[in-house]
Amino acid sequence: MSEVSPRNSTTNSVRDVSGTAIMGDHLTINLVDSACGESAEHAFGLLAPPRFVDRNDPLTKARRALEERRGTSTVLTVYAPGQGGGTTAFGLKLLYDSFERDRRRFPGGYYFVDLSREDPGVAVAQFLRLMGVQEADVPATPERRWEMLHRSARWRSGVAVMVDAPRSITEALPFFATSPGSLTVVTGSHRFDLRTLGREDLRRIRHVDWEDVTLEGLSDADATTMFLQQAKVAVEGERDRAMVSDFVSAARGNPGLVADYAFDVVTERLFRSEDGDPLAAAHRRTFGAAAILGHQPRDRGDFAGLTGDQRALAVLLAQHPDSDFGVDLAVSLLHPGTDPVEARARLDVLVERGVLHRTTGEGSLRYRFTTRSMRTTFPPDPEQAMDTPERVLAHYYAIAYAAHRRLMPGRWLQRDLDGRSAFPEGARSARSFATVGEARRALYVERRTLVRVVLDAVRAGHHAMAAELCEVLWPFWFLSGYFTDVVDAQSPLLRATEGTHRLEPARLSRLRVQTAIAYRRDRNWAEARREAELALELAEGAHPLVRLTALDALADIEADEGRCDAASGHFAAATRIAEGMDPVDPRALHIMVRKEGVAHLGAGRLPQAERRILRARDLLSEDDHQNRARTHKALADLRVRQGRLDEALEEYDGAVASHRLLGDQRRVGDVYVARADALAERDPVAARAELRRALDAYEAAEAVREAAEVRERIGA
């Protein structure tokens, strides 16, 4: 069995990584790319398979299943009761052995996803990114992600996927590789019941071959061998043998506990061991007079020789969601006025002692607990159990609120309308950003963590805080094109609060609008319309801005589907709401007037379009760069239709300048494409130059689909 402790089993690797590996800091998903050229030197890029001391019979059974079913899709479930049963190590060993025997057995690659640390929906999206799907093309709709994954050429070419610790077969199902020659290894302490699946899910896996492996506990002999290997001790005399026997008996055949006890011996050797005998010191702490009856290694407060202050920080950090975090999070959780240098020094001690894993990404230090079991080693003190998660939420809200005000100044929030917030006032003044770029960078490094923070808040029942966090994150998600994050974060929140009194209808309406916009990006008109119509229902009787926003969302869908008359009618109704407010919200009025004008333009009613677009321009505030860009673009499109090309080009220039201020390169590319279309007949050479500028902008934004379309036009 494995000699690798659950505490550090996710930190190792074997040889060089070929392909992509994402471990610890964002998602526990790994890929080794086997679909390389004939001369490529392949390497196993997943987590390290451990040395084994037993379980040859289960391994033989599993290997036989792989060899006998090369032309089929095989699902191998590996089960062991309780935490630390060794299923993860077994699965990794099986995949590595397969890799060593035939490095081209799975052309699509080897994958590992740890569902004990990741949400399944988020993990499917990350699989697509690992396979080269660009952000703009990753569907916001979870069902479409699953379909895209299983249609991809790499997935269908034959892959090996290890799914670790799913709580149910429903969680594991999206990762089942069903193409011929594929393998799915599902490991954990839960047995699956296929009778819980619906008819359509059963249809998806009807051609899969199933094999089950159950791992029993270690024998005393094997547990002793594993303990000695892991602890790196030599037994000398009856006294040592008796101490080792105590550890083995206490582990009761559980390899995770064997590894934990051995880790305590290593800790004594590295950080304590005043008497020079780490085995005796670890035994005294576990079984001596000071030991707490019934406590296992991961339950004890003296882990890894931490001081009280160091352990106290680990306890605080353990209440952060199981995701990566920065030094500023530690500063927020420690006492006010903590020096960031001091906080980093404490974090580095936790890294040194094997509690945290440290990475550097985007110029920022990030930390994460090395394993899930390591995080559970530090349960909260009773008086902190409720307070700390709320402080964590307030920390991220402060960042997102400051970014919201920089990215979309003037955009209304629900608390602006009703004066109620689940967060303390200080959270809205705790942070500030000097520039748009600074705001976006601050949220970019937290991107994956922010979704996890919302999901954990929903599970913990902090629905109001989760909703407010989603509301202030919208400008970042929208301007960055992260519509997958919108759906991943908001869908569980909406499910948890639908038909309840956990959130007021007005706030739910705003979240439905944001979700509708995310589905529009997918061109999923049916779901987008459903969300917008629900938003409109929830807005009944609420503040006029709430109803206006829901009408806006529904009108946008009408316009997307080419129903310009219906769209202009909804926009006109929203305009009347904006005009009747006291006081008038100039930003809301501007948006509705402009959109009504664009709808008239789409229907060919140029005079009506001009009146409204010019009026919208007069309503603009100086610092609203997003709406200024869109107004320039709308007026430019109008001038093209009127044959006033020189004026149109000036307006397009204004749109480009405003989009650049926001760092929105994709929309910069859109404007250059519009300029090229406008110039195509009068000056084809100039139009071609505009397309090249569009291509540069799309490539900077990593908008692969748009860049490909422009390249095709330039080539033609």
Q: Give the model confidence (pLDDT) of 141-175 as tens digits.
A: 999 999 999 988 888 888 999 999 998 888 999 99
Mean pLDDT along residues 324-335? 93
Say yes or no to pLDDT of 21 above 80.
Answer: no
Say yes or no to pLDDT of 654 above 60.
Answer: yes
* Of 213, 187, 212, 208, residue with least CA distance to 197: 208
pLDDT band at residue 282 using 50, 70 and 90 as cut-offs:
confident
In this predicted structure, which of 34-43, 94-103, 107-116 has the lowest mean pLDDT? 34-43
Residues β-bridged to residue 22: 29
* Top-confidence residue, 565 or 364: 565
pLDDT band at residue 371 using 50, 70 and 90 as cut-offs:
confident
Give the per-residue pLDDT at 298: 60
What are the tens digits of pLDDT across the range 253-271? 988 889 889 988 888 888 7
Cβ atoms 601, 638 nearer than 8 A: yes
* Top-confidence residue, 60 or 658: 658
Number of H helices, E strands in the chain: 32, 9
* Top-confidence residue, 651 or 72: 651
* Of 571, 713, 691, residue with least CA distance to 634: 571
Distance of CA 1 to the CA centre of its chain: 33
Give the per-residue pLDDT at 405: 95
> Angle at which helices 645-661 and 665-679 pack, to 10 degrees?
170
pLDDT band at residue 571 using 50, 70 and 90 as cut-offs:
very high
Cβ atoms 45, 18 nearer than 8 A: yes
Mean pLDDT along residues 103-107? 86
The winner for highest mean pLDDT among 94-98, 134-138, 338-342, 396-400 is 396-400
Distance CA 543, CA 702 (A): 39
Instruction: Take residue 318 and report the two structure tokens written for it.
Output: 């353990």
Give the per-residue pLDDT at 694: 96
Cβ-based neighbour number of residue 646 at 10 Å: 7
What are the tens digits of pLDDT across the range 431-455? 999 999 999 999 999 999 999 999 9
* H or E element in which residue 465 lies: helix 463-480
In this predicted structure, which of 222-231, 294-303, 510-519, 684-693 has the lowest mean pLDDT? 294-303
Dmax over CA atoms of the chain, in Å, equals: 100
Give the per-residue pLDDT at 404: 97
* Local structure of residue 5 (DSSP, 8 states): -
* Local structure of residue 368 (DSSP, 8 states): E
pLDDT band at residue 532 using 50, 70 and 90 as cut-offs:
very high
In this predicted structure, which of 3-7, 231-235, 523-527 has the lowest mean pLDDT? 3-7
% pLDDT > 90, the chain: 55
* Torsion angles phi and psi, residue 101, rounded to 5: -75, -40
Say yes or no to pLDDT of 13 above 60.
Answer: no
Give the per-residue pLDDT at 50: 63
Say yes or no to pLDDT of 318 above 50.
Answer: yes
Mean pLDDT along residues 129-138? 85
Q: ω before 583 within 30° of 0 (cis)?
A: yes
Mean pLDDT along residues 362-368? 85
Distance of CA 519 to the CA centre of its chain: 18
Residues 293, 296, 299, 305: what is their CA dihedral angle, to the nearest 10 degrees?
100
pLDDT band at residue 294 using 50, 70 and 90 as cut-offs:
low
Say yes or no to pLDDT of 574 above 60.
Answer: yes
* H or E element in which residue 564 lies: helix 564-579
Cβ atoms 180, 158 nearer than 8 A: yes
* Of 177, 158, 154, 174, residue with least CA distance to 166: 174
Instruction: Take residue 271 and report the two structure tokens written for it.
Output: 């950080």
What are the tens digits of pLDDT across the range 597-649? 999 999 999 999 999 999 999 999 888 898 999 999 999 999 999 999 999 99
In this predicted structure, which of 59-63, 326-330, 580-584 has the lowest mean pLDDT? 59-63
Report the length, in residues, of the chain. 716
Give the per-residue pLDDT at 191: 85
> Who contacts 408 (Cβ-Cβ below 8 Å, separation ≥6)?
474, 475, 626
Give the per-residue pLDDT at 67: 82
The winner for highest mean pLDDT among 8-22, 106-120, 503-517 is 503-517
Give the per-residue pLDDT at 54: 73
N-terminal to C-terminal alpha carbon distance within the chain:
62
Cβ atoms 321, 453 nearer than 8 A: yes
Instruction: Take residue 609 and report the two structure tokens written for it.
Output: 């379009």
pLDDT band at residue 301 using 50, 70 and 90 as cut-offs:
low
Distance CA 483, CA 143 (A): 14
Distance CA 296, CA 306 (A): 17
* Torsion angles phi and psi, residue 360, rounded to 5: -125, 115
> Who contacts 427 (Cβ-Cβ below 8 Å, separation ≥6)?
394, 397, 398, 401
CB-based burial label for 457 (10 Å; 0-12, 13-18, 19+): buried
If you search the block for the tokens 């220039």, which residue do you land on?
653
Distance CA 502, CA 466 (A): 11
Distance CA 604, CA 160 (A): 55
Cβ atoms 1, 255 nearer than 8 A: yes
The winner for highest mean pLDDT among 55-59, 113-117, 275-279 is 113-117
